[in-house]
Structure 1
């Protein structure tokens, strides 16, 4: 028989939130200790740049692209490395959850959004040459192209539009710019507040249990 948790059911949601908040802040702390620039050894696989207009559209197809790529069987090492980079870079960019990370070039998360979306685009284009994935990949490309034309995004650029990337270099958020970006600052401040609130609530619940 499995041993039941020593915590009451009412405490579990709070503890889950505490763990999630701690994980996010830990990722932020680890990333801030490194250089946020994509400049590095470039010993990995180069990834072509993506324009601001392209990323606005590719962001909406990212999940379809990654799901299709993850199920592909006729792959090679470069493809898998770019796919892995796209997923790692996505987590470094807080899973695309920061407000304005894609649309606002002033966002401290815009450059890292360029990186994971450029990788997603590279993966998508590579799948056009794969026998089993070519049809689905071509359909996504056709939909994305049509949406870009409809929204008039093909010529829109930003300060990161000409930046190429490399699987050897993780692009981290520009942490020093967060205080100047109101939306990002508000989200991270709320996250810190949630972390402290959940911590003290969990501490109170555990204290009550120990006194019983």
Structure 2
């Protein structure tokens, strides 16, 4: 029931029709996503330590982090690899921003060497795994820092991996609350 209510509230939360007052972020292909996702933490770590930054760089980095949290930190199975996942467009957004941050660091004197190493590793992985030409329905979609792309909550019930993982998470949270309440009760209530 909760997912249906949330789905209705967020059904139209994609990047379509939003304000474009922010910064444009170039699209990312489905194949690039699969590889960039594996390097994401290294890219973000390097970017967060960058010294010679400017406002557009920081805004795109911030957008990448915000989008990542909206996509439940990439933890929903299939969010990156499954085009049918309700989290796939959302994943495209945070990984496109991550790629934009990486490409911007090529021009930064202190980060250029490390950024170019990551770019070379990504290129090699894409060729080795044959992902260079792999696309999906969101591969041509550019993004904008003014538009937060939310998961398509209304599609969660019909996507098995998403539904199973979110149901499992709900059960675990429920058990944790039950366990905490049981252990935090005063001792004299337990004896009654």
Alpha-carbon offset, residue 68 of structure 1: 0.4
Determine which of 179, 185, 190 is the counterpart of 2:157. 179
1:210/1:92 Cα in 2 relative to 1: closer, same or farther (>3 Å)?
farther
Give the secondary-structure state (helix, strand or coil) at the position aligned to 1:36: coil
Do 2:85 and 2:159's aligned partners in 1 also have CA atoms closer than 8 Å?
Answer: yes
Runs of 4+ in 1 over 6 A off after TM superposition: none
- Return the alpha-carbon distance in structure 2 between the equivalents of residues 88 and 210 of structure 1: 46
2:160 aligned with 1:160: no
- Return the alpha-carbon distance in structure 1 between the equivalents of residues 11 and 21 of structure 2: 18
Tell me which moved more, 35-44 or 168-177: 35-44
Q: How many residues align?
A: 186
Superposed CA offset, 1:150-200 (max 9, x none):
111111000000000000011000000001110110111111111222222
2:26 aligned with 1:48: yes
Partner of 2:39 in structure 1?
61
Structure 2, unaligned runs of 5 or more: none
2:51 aligned with 1:35: no
Structure 1, unaligned runs of 5 or more: 1-24
1:81/1:30 Cα in 2 relative to 1: closer, same or farther (>3 Å)?
farther
Superposed CA offset, 1:88-117 (max 9, x none):
100110101100000000001000000000
For the aligned residue pairs, the C-alpha RMSD in angstroms reads 2.0
Give the secondary-structure state (helix, strand or coil) at the position aligned to 2:146: coil
Partner of 1:148 in structure 2?
126
1:162/1:33 Cα in 2 relative to 1: closer, same or farther (>3 Å)?
closer
Do 1:48 and 1:118's aligned partners in 2 also have CA atoms closer than 8 Å?
Answer: yes
TM-score norm. by structure 2 comes to 0.91
Alpha-carbon offset, residue 210 of structure 1: 5.4
Matches within 5 A, 1:130-145: 130-145=108-123
Partner of 2:100 in structure 1?
122
- Return the alpha-carbon distance in structure 2 between the equivalents of residues 210 and 188 of structure 1: 37
